[in-house]
């Protein structure tokens, strides 16, 4: 799923997570593919429990040189067109 999102290259991504481990993993992947976290907000949707949702706004970095092997860079280099 993240590879498909990176290929489409939206300007902004709003990521909602209930699992801190997968949040950290996925944000690292998105950062390697040209995005940066702008703001993160925990949301306590389940009071009196230890569960907390986290909402993160990610934006595409326009001038970032992408790492070799990143999905977005491979897609751009392939010359393929994304069709909605």
Write down the catalytic residue from 8, 16, 18, 45. 18
Instruction: Please confirm, yes or no, whether 18 is among the known catalytic residues.
Output: yes
Q: In sequence order, what are the residues at sequence separation of 6 or more whose Cβ sits closer than 8 angstroms to the Cβ of residue 11? A: 59, 60
Rounded to whole angstroms, the Cα distance separating 75 from 26 reads: 19
User: Are 35 and 13 contacting, i.e. CB atoms less than 8 angstroms apart?
Assistant: yes
Say if strands 53-60 and 12-17 run parallel, antiparallel, or are unpaired: antiparallel
Which residues are identified as catalytic? 18
């Amino acid at each position: 799923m993240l590879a498909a999102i990176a290929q489409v290259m939206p300007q902004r991504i709003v990521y909602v997570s209930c699992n801190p481990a997968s949040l950290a993993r996925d944000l690292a992947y998105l950062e390697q593919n040209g995005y940066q976290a702008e703001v993160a907000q925990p949301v306590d949707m389940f009071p009196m429990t230890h569960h907390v949702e986290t909402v993160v706004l990610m934006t595409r970095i326009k001038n970032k040189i992408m790492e070799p092997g990143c999905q977005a860079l491979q897609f751009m280099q392939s010359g393929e067109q994304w069709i909605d």
